[in-house]
């Protein structure tokens, strides 16, 4: 195993790890960190070009970006927040039809249950 060590003050570990794996495929086993030091773990088969790609990927990394998993989590949380607000607002609004209210409650409950299981 070969390691490359790069110092970077801010990083998004989940995103950086997926970026390294996308850039290097089987030539890496991923990334680890200790404080501001990022270590890219390369296989024994990795060559100097792979090392350069690893270093460039870390240097180009923007900690403000989000990984697909982080984006999905944020979207789910936003949907839950909206469903909760809709549910509570509909409870207070007596002009809604019973069917509409029931559908909103079912959607809200389903989202609540899904969020509790994750």
Domain extent listing, the chain: 2-60, 68-116
Question: Where does the pLDDT of residue 95 fall: very low under 50, low under 70, confident under 90, or very high at 90 and above?
Answer: low
pLDDT at residue 77 in the model: 87
According to DSSP, the β-strands at 28-34 and 2-7 are unpaired
- Indicate if the alpha-carbon torsion angle 76, 80, 82, 86 is positive or negative: positive
Predicted structure pTM score: 0.62
Q: CA-CA distances (angstroms) from residue 114 to 38, 52, 72, 77, 104?
A: 34, 42, 13, 11, 15
Asked whether residue 118 carries a pLDDT value surpassing 90, the answer given is: no
- Indicate if the alpha-carbon torsion angle 11, 12, 16, 19 is positive or negative: negative
Q: Which CATH architecture has domain 2-60?
A: 2-Layer Sandwich (3.30)
pLDDT digits (tens, 9 = 90+) for 19-78: 999 999 999 999 999 999 999 999 999 999 999 999 999 999 999 999 888 888 888 888
Termini Cα distance of the chain = 34
pLDDT at residue 79 in the model: 84
């Amino acid at each position: 195993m070969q390691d490359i060590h790069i110092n970077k003050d801010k990083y998004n570990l989940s995103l950086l790890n997926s970026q390294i794996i996308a850039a290097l495929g089987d030539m890496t086993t991923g990334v680890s960190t200790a404080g501001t030091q990022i270590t890219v773990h390369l296989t024994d088969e990795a060559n100097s070009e792979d090392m350069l790609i690893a270093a460039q990927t870390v240097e180009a990394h923007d900690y403000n970006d989000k990984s697909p998993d982080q984006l999905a989590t944020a979207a789910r949380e936003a949907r839950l927040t909206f469903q909760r607000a809709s549910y509570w607002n509909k409870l207070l609004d007596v002009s809604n039809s019973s069917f509409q209210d029931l559908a909103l409650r079912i959607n809200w409950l389903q989202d609540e249950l899904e969020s509790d299981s994750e």
